Amino acid sequence: MAEWEKQIGAINLIVGDLERSKAFYRDVFGLPLQHEDEDSAMFRFTDMYLFLQRGAAHRDGTSGDALSLAQKGVGQFVIFVDEVDEVHAELDQAHVATISGPADRDWGMRTLTLADPGGYTWEITQELPSASGPGMTPEEARVVLRRSRELRFLSPSSFGGPLLQGEAPSREDVAAAVALLTPEEADELAANAWRLWMTPPADVDGGRRFVEGRTSPLALYGAGLFAHRAGDIDESQRLNEAALDLADTPEATALAHLGLSRVAAERGDADEALRHALEAREAAAPLGESIGPAPLHVHATALWLRGDFDQAAELFEQSLAFNSRIGDHGMVKVEQYNLGFVNLRRGDTSAAILYLSEVADNALAAAALAVAKGDRESARELLDQVAADDLPHEDRAEAEWLRSQL
């Protein structure tokens, strides 16, 4: 076999509208025109020529049809660049529509894709550095920051699992990156990514270390939530109050009040819990469902603590429906548990039995179920298994009430 260099020196694209295609490659790619005649044009990349050849058999689409042509598999080419987002900004300024991206891909590339008038697609590709913990560079840290801006959580205000959607950088990479960024960038990364430590398996101690020293209101809310989960209620209050002082968006304001409502509920201060819950719901109203059902949940909890069991049951039902719809199975169980107790308190034993039967693997819920069924002996035995000192305030109050019914 003859030896020849296996390198592409030129590509020839058959186009229907030569003038439109020439304008595209001249204006969008900034390529110099090397030669042209009535039926062709030649441009030059660094190491490759691009020929455009008029062909009657090739039918170009309108500007809105380029995507449909591309989807038919006309052809795709790839250009490697150092920074995809800079190219994207230039394309935006030139009003060039893209098909997809920029987005980080599983195979280690960040890409965006656009189509020329003939339906030929071009993928602009940047190789992502491999984040490597302690050996990470500042450039790699900024890649992690950029990826954190794309994180999405289905229930972002949840005290439990916030339900990560899509892919995310690892906790190790995020923790390494935060030490290499400017203070402002580190605050942004912490605000974007602290919920990764709440996703299963949760790591409360690791999360507290990650957000320690961060000063943005969203990061302070996360720090307050970690402190609450660790049982440090005083610190949780301090952090949420700091978050509220700095809050400059509806989301930050809603979350800070949310954290303070949880703190007040843990301390048994029903009025303060209700005040912050109402403030949280008011601030969250413009955000719609994007903030999740937690403001609704803390409002219901505060009403429960105040003894307003009818209104609490109504709001817990709404929260249960919300969590069922978004698939937060952990919070579905929480609201079934709460509805079991609230309905028992309001004298609706049928509803109490229905809900408590769903969570009877919990000793306190099983004791409440026994009370609802009139089985006092089983209720006493189950209550003896409950370590009251380890329960949150509202559960301690319910345990005491159950004992009073026996």
Same-domain pairing of 351 and 270? no
- The residue with tokens 């469902």 is 289
Kindly report the three-state secondary structure assignment for every residue of 266-330. Answer: HCCCHHHHHHHHHHHHHHHHHHHHHHCCHHHHHHHHHHHHHCCHHHHHHHHHHHHHHHHHHCCHH
Give the number of other Cβ atoms within 10 Å of residue 261's Cβ.
Answer: 29
Radius of gyration of the chain (CA): 29
Examine the fold and report which residue of 306, 325, 358 is the final residue of a domain before the chain moves on.
306
pLDDT in tens, 74-116: 566 778 888 888 888 888 888 887 777 787 775 667 888 888 8
- pTM more than 0.85: no
Does residue 3 belong to any structural domain of this protein? no
pLDDT in tens, 177-208: 988 999 999 999 999 999 999 888 889 999 99
Amino acid at 126: Q
With both helix axes pointing from N to C terminus, report the angle between 309-326 and 329-345 in degrees, rounded to the nearest 10. Answer: 160
Long-range pairs for 247-253: beta carbons < 8 A, 24 or more residues apart: 247/217, 248/217, 249/217, 250/283, 250/284, 250/285, 250/286, 250/287, 251/218, 251/283, 251/284, 251/287, 251/291, 252/217, 252/218, 252/221, 253/279, 253/283
Examine the fold and report which residue of 306, 332, 359 is the final residue of a domain before the chain moves on.
306
Domain count along the chain: 3
Same-domain pairing of 196 and 272? yes
Residue closest to 279 by CA, chosen among 267, 292, 261: 261
Does residue 243 belong to any structural domain of this protein? yes
Q: What whole-number distance in Å separates Cα of residue 116 and Cα of residue 124?
A: 13
Same-domain pairing of 140 and 238? yes
Same-domain pairing of 217 and 347? no
Does residue 2 belong to any structural domain of this protein? no
Does residue 161 belong to any structural domain of this protein? yes
Cα separation values, 334 from 127, 183, 219, 314, 389, Å: 44, 38, 25, 15, 20
DSSP state letter for 374 = T
DSSP state letter for 133 = G
pLDDT in tens, 377-401: 999 999 998 887 778 878 888 999 9
- Domain span holding position 183: 133-306
DSSP state letter for 200 = S
Lowest mean pLDDT among 40-49, 120-129, 282-291, 375-384: 120-129
Same-domain pairing of 173 and 319? no
Structure-block tokens of residue 175: 């923790």
CATH, residue 333: 1.25.40.10
pLDDT at 67 over 50: no
